[in-house]
A and B are shown apart, each in its own frame.
Chain A
Amino acid sequence: MREHWPKIRAALLAVVLLWQGLLASPMPSNIDASSFDNPIAEAELVRWSELLAGLGWAVTPHELERGVIEHLGGVASAKKAALKPLKPLQRTLGIGQAWGLFTYPNTYPHQLIISVRGGSDQRWQTLYAALDPEHEWHKSTFVYRRIRGVYDDNASRTRPSYSHFVDWVAGMAFEELPEVNEVRVHMIRTHVKPPGETPDPETSIRLSRVVRRSELAP
Chain B
Amino acid sequence: MSWWVSLWNHREQPTVLALLRIGVGLVLLVDFGRAAWLGVVPQLWAPDELGGLGSKVTAREPPLLIYELLPHSVDSAWLAYGVLVTALVCFTLGLGTRVAGLVALLTYAALAKVLPLGDRGIDLMMRNVLLVLSLSRSHAAWSLDARIRTGSWFGDGQTVPAWPRHLLILQLVVMYFLAGVQKTALSWTPLGGYSALYLVLQDPHIARFDMSWLSGWAYPLSQVATATTHLFEWTAPLTLLAYHYRDTAHRPGRLRAWSQRWRPHWWWIGVGALLHLGIWMTMDIGIFPWAMLLLYPAWFHPDELQAAWRKLSGLHAAPAPGLPEAQPGLFERDAQSFSDGVLDREGLERPDSRAVIEPR
Contacts and interface: CB of A to CB of B under 8 A. Distances in A.
B309 to A, nearest CB: 30
A149 B120 contact: yes
B182 A6 contact: no
Nearest to B108: A94
Contact of A10 (B5, B197, B204): B5
A131 B204 CA distance: 6
A206 to B, nearest CB: 13
Given A97-B178, A101-B179, A107 B121 contact: no
Question: Most chain-A Cβ atoms within 10 A of its Cβ — which of B7, B8, B51, B216?
Answer: B8
Contacts of B110: 94
B240 interface: no
Interface in B150-191: 163, 167, 170, 174-175, 178-179, 181-188, 191
Contact of B38 (A44, A141, A150): A141
A103 interface: yes
B48 to A, nearest CB: 6
Nearest to B202: A192
A6 B127 contact: no
Given A13-B8, A102-B196, A97 B174 contact: yes
A14 interface: yes
Contact of B163 (A9, A94, A112, A160): A9
Contacts of A130: 204-205
A95 interface: yes
Interface stretch (B72-80, B282-290, B297-305, B321-329): B282-290
B306 interface: no
B127 to A, nearest CB: 5
A146 B200 contact: no
Interface in B194-229: 195-200, 202-207, 209-210, 215-216, 219
Interface stretch (A30-38, A56-64, A73-81, A161-169): A161-169
A120 to B, nearest CB: 32
A93 B126 CA distance: 11
A143 B192 CA distance: 30
Contact of A161 (B117, B193, B288): B117
B40 A144 contact: yes
A102 B176 CA distance: 12
Question: Interface SS of chain A: helix, strand, loop or mixed?
Answer: helix
B186 A48 contact: yes
Contacts of B54: 161, 164
Contacts of A26: 178, 181-182
A165 B186 contact: no
A94 B105 contact: yes
Contacts of B287: 145
A11 to B, nearest CB: 9
Contacts of B219: 194-195
Contacts of A143: 284
B186 A144 contact: no
Interface in A129-171: 130-131, 140-141, 143-155, 159-161, 164-165, 168
A13 B215 CA distance: 48
B179 A100 contact: yes
Interface in A148-207: 148-155, 159-161, 164-165, 168, 192, 194-196
25 contacts: A6-B9, A9-B163, A13-B167, A44-B184, A91-B113, A94-B110, A95-B127, A100-B121, A100-B178, A105-B196, A105-B197, A106-B200, A131-B209, A144-B40, A146-B35, A146-B44, A146-B118, A146-B286, A147-B43, A150-B118, A151-B205, A160-B56, A161-B55, A164-B54, A195-B216
Interface of B: 4-5, 7-9, 31, 34-35, 38, 40, 43-44, 48, 51-56, 62, 65, 105-106, 108-110, 112-113, 115, 117-121, 123-124, 127-128, 131, 163, 167, 170, 174-175, 178-179, 181-188, 191-193, 195-200, 202-207, 209-210, 215-216, 219, 284-288
Given A93-B105, A107-B199, A145-B286, 13 more contacts: A9-B9, A14-B4, A91-B62, A94-B123, A96-B124, A103-B184, A103-B185, A146-B119, A150-B115, A160-B56, A168-B51, A168-B53, A194-B195
Top 7 closest pairs, chain A to chain B, by CB: A94-B109, A145-B286, A146-B118, A194-B195, A105-B199, A160-B55, A109-B203
